[in-house]
Structure 1
Amino acid sequence: MLNISLRQMRTLLAIQKHGKISAAARALGLTSPAVTLQLQQLEQDLGCQLFLRTKTGAQPTEVGDIAIQTARRILSELASFEETVQAHKGIAAGTIRLGVVSTGKYFAPRLIAAFTAVHPGISMTLVAANRSEIIQKLHDHDIDVALMGRPPTTFKVHATLFGDHPLVFIASPDHPLVGRLDISREDLAEQKFIVREKGSGTRSSFEFFMSGTPGGLRTTPTEMDSNETIKQAVIAGLGIAFISGHTIEQECLSGKLVLLDVVETPIRRQWFSIRHSSRTSTPALQALDDFLRLRGPSLLPVLSKPYPAALFQSAMTGNAAFPD
């Protein structure tokens, strides 16, 4: 029977996170010799080495990786247990580590504010990253809940649908395609595009949407790693972009960006609240699930029309003269 303490588990995770004994010691408020001693005792109890000491830092061995994953699960379960006990005492409390894909950071603060106003005893932390990174954090139990599009398929999860996620094409107000109706993929293929990096869900959706275009894109897209940079590039006239409709609310209202009326868009995806299947639900997590189902849709940004109302009415009566 192994006799591993919670302190040793926390030490193990700190070494993995910070990469060096000295950095882990600072994070834990301990001395380096104390952290080294705890690691040595743990390795002695297990009968195997957990980290390789290299010039670049401590690298987990194969057994070390297993020990790290086990420690994460155990500490996560203990946190869940503590929250459940507090709930049985009538204390509405808990902590939720929330992760969102990059496009979600535009509404996540609004969602957190609304949720904590209803549940003031529940605290939340927020981390935003691209889809690949958020999936990894969810897998590693570094976050409790992820807000993202399609659920991951590489491990089992519990997913709660809480709203639509439109993906749209945008341009600067003086772009030649602005004002046209029913823009085709072929028309788009002639344009200069600014796209997200590989690993982004928006990038994958863009490539899928344009994959059937005869001849493909005429120019190589310019890759940028954030929605903010992409929006500024489009405003500057460097090209058009395919982006989440939930990232452009303010720019559309101010007239800096315009939605393009592209055939078969907006592409409708969904937002999900996702947790690892091995993560035990707590009263706090259940409260968040219930809140998202009931109020999530109302907290998402609303898209404006991609064309002026007068232009649309003229098109319906056959009196409009649209750009070629």
Structure 2
Amino acid sequence: MSEALSDAVAAAARSDRPKTSLRKTGGTAPGDAKGAEAASGATTAQPNALPYVSFNQLRSFHAVAVAGSITAAASLLHVSQPTVTVQLRQLESHYGVELVRRTPRNVRLTELGESLFTITQQLFALEGEAVELLNSAGSTLRGRLRVGGVAPYFVMRLLSTFSRAHPGVALSLQLDNSATVIRRLIDQEIDVGIVGQTTLDSRLHALPYSRQDVVLFCRDDHPWAGRDGVRLHELADMALVLREKGSTCRLTLEQVLQERGIVPRVTLEVCREGVREAVVAGFGVGITTDIEYVPERRTRMLRILDADIYTEAFAVCLRERRTVSVTRAFMATAEEFFDRARE
């Protein structure tokens, strides 16, 4: 959903009042027609006239479709729950249609509602682009940029460089595995991402960043602690701590193990932040990349001696949104940053 929906909707939604239906009603004298029309906010259909629709009602519908419930939509729009309910009912009543089906716990879109949601996603994405265009018309780039990343190491220095170049852009960052970052990017929950993916979605525009080797690490009292590395076949008999599914590091290692016919003995699956603690707690040998591994007295890094296993990092955005001002500026900064890092 576009930033315009979260930024501009609250004030607009609070001020939205029910619109008089466009259907003809009796009891209005000819001389009063213009006054009644002006008071209602409706417009009489004219040849080649723009169609009328209440944007606030569409915002409420869109928020319900995104959030999945009236309560969550009201929170998203920073308005009261009755406001969302009234605007949604007005939209349905005006056109004589059913867009959502209410259940005790949430709402579900009808077939017509699903079709309208496809349109409102495009509508509010374009509205966001219009806002960004106006914000960037001045000498200073302004707006918001929602960033997703796989690890602080890959993201923070780039964000710092971008922020110094464009101080008028507000930044937000969500950290997760590559699969989740890419899903959020495609769903337009974020604007750009730094991911380590072996196969990128064709809908993405990508800039290569760096290559990093997949490595193992163990506790300092582990039998392998005095070694420089291990061979893959040794993993078949060793307790292994893996990242959660969706991790590119895990996926890359699993592909090579499968090719070699090696079935690892996995004792724990845990998120990135939990792998080190799991290793220190004695669950087994962990996996990471050489760039992400932080040397400390309690663990030892182990290279994989008989396979070239690595991941690659990319800066990515949706191809269809690469010309949006803040996205374009971020990708340009990323390209310059990556070039300097490779020098």
Give me the TM-score of the superposition, normalised by structure 1: 0.79
Quote the residue 1:321 is aligned against.
none
The answer on 1:282 being equivalent to 2:324 is yes
Quote the residue 2:117 is aligned against.
68
Relative CO higher for 1 or 2, CA cutoff 8 Å, sep ≥ 6? 1
For the residues of structure 2 that align with 1:291 and 1:237, how far apart are their CA atoms?
42
Determine which of 15, 18, 23 is the counterpart of 2:64: 15
The answer on 1:143 being equivalent to 2:207 is no
Quote the residue 1:207 is aligned against.
254
8 Å contact from structure 1 (residues 180, 261) kept in 2: no
Q: CA deviation at 1:239?
A: 0.6
The 1:109–1:65 alpha-carbon spacing in structure 2 relative to 1, beyond 3 Å, is farther
Note the alpha carbon deviations across 1:45-73, whole angstroms, 9 max, x for none.
56543222112211223443343343233
For the residues of structure 1 that align with 2:190 and 2:199, how far apart are their CA atoms?
15
Quote the residue 1:162 is aligned against.
209
For the residues of structure 2 that align with 1:90 and 1:195, how far apart are their CA atoms?
48
Q: Structure 1 vs Structure 2: percent identity of aligned residues?
A: 26
Determine which of 9, 13, 25 is the counterpart of 2:74: 25
Q: State the AA in 2 paired with 1:234.
A: V
Q: State the AA in 2 paired with 1:25.
A: A
Note the alpha carbon deviations across 1:106-143, whole angstroms, 9 max, x for none.
44234323321222111111122333332322122111
The 1:68–1:156 alpha-carbon spacing in structure 2 relative to 1, beyond 3 Å, is same
> Counterparts in 2 of 1:44-123, with a 5 A limit?
44=93, 48-101=97-150, 104-123=151-170
Determine which of 221, 226, 238 is the counterpart of 2:283: 238
For the residues of structure 2 that align with 1:198 and 1:45, how far apart are their CA atoms?
46
Q: CA deviation at 1:210?
A: 1.1
8 Å contact from structure 1 (residues 196, 224) kept in 2: yes
For the residues of structure 2 that align with 1:178 and 1:117, how far apart are their CA atoms?
42
For the residues of structure 1 that align with 2:261 and 2:322, how far apart are their CA atoms?
49
Q: CA deviation at 1:271?
A: 1.2
> Counterparts in 2 of 1:269-308, with a 5 A limit?
269-296=311-338
Determine which of 201, 210, 216 is the counterpart of 2:263: 216
Give me the TM-score of the superposition, normalised by structure 2: 0.75
Larger Rg: 2
Q: State the AA in 1 paired with 2:271.
A: S
8 Å contact from structure 1 (residues 107, 299) kept in 2: no
The 1:49–1:244 alpha-carbon spacing in structure 2 relative to 1, beyond 3 Å, is farther
For the residues of structure 2 that align with 1:111 and 1:84, how far apart are their CA atoms?
24
8 Å contact from structure 1 (residues 171, 239) kept in 2: yes
Superposed CA RMSD: 2.8
Q: State the AA in 2 paired with 1:247.
A: E
For the residues of structure 1 that align with 2:101 and 2:219, how far apart are their CA atoms?
53
For the residues of structure 2 that align with 1:137 and 1:84, how far apart are their CA atoms?
23
* Paired residue total: 293
Quote the residue 1:316 is aligned against.
none
> Counterparts in 2 of 1:32-47, with a 5 A limit?
32-44=81-93
Quote the residue 2:272 is aligned against.
227
For the residues of structure 2 that align with 1:42 and 1:8, how far apart are their CA atoms?
6
Find the residue that maps to 1:96 and give its secondary structure.
strand
Find the residue that maps to 2:230 and give its secondary structure.
coil
Find the residue that maps to 1:224 and give its secondary structure.
strand
For the residues of structure 1 that align with 2:309 and 2:76, how far apart are their CA atoms?
45
The 1:255–1:131 alpha-carbon spacing in structure 2 relative to 1, beyond 3 Å, is same
Q: CA deviation at 1:186?
A: 1.0
Find the residue that maps to 1:292 and give its secondary structure.
helix
For the residues of structure 1 that align with 2:254 and 2:121, how far apart are their CA atoms?
36
For the residues of structure 1 that align with 2:170 and 2:74, how far apart are their CA atoms?
26
Determine which of 119, 126, 136 is the counterpart of 2:173: 126
The 1:259–1:291 alpha-carbon spacing in structure 2 relative to 1, beyond 3 Å, is same
8 Å contact from structure 2 (residues 92, 99) kept in 1: yes
Gaps (5+ residues) in structure 2? 1-49
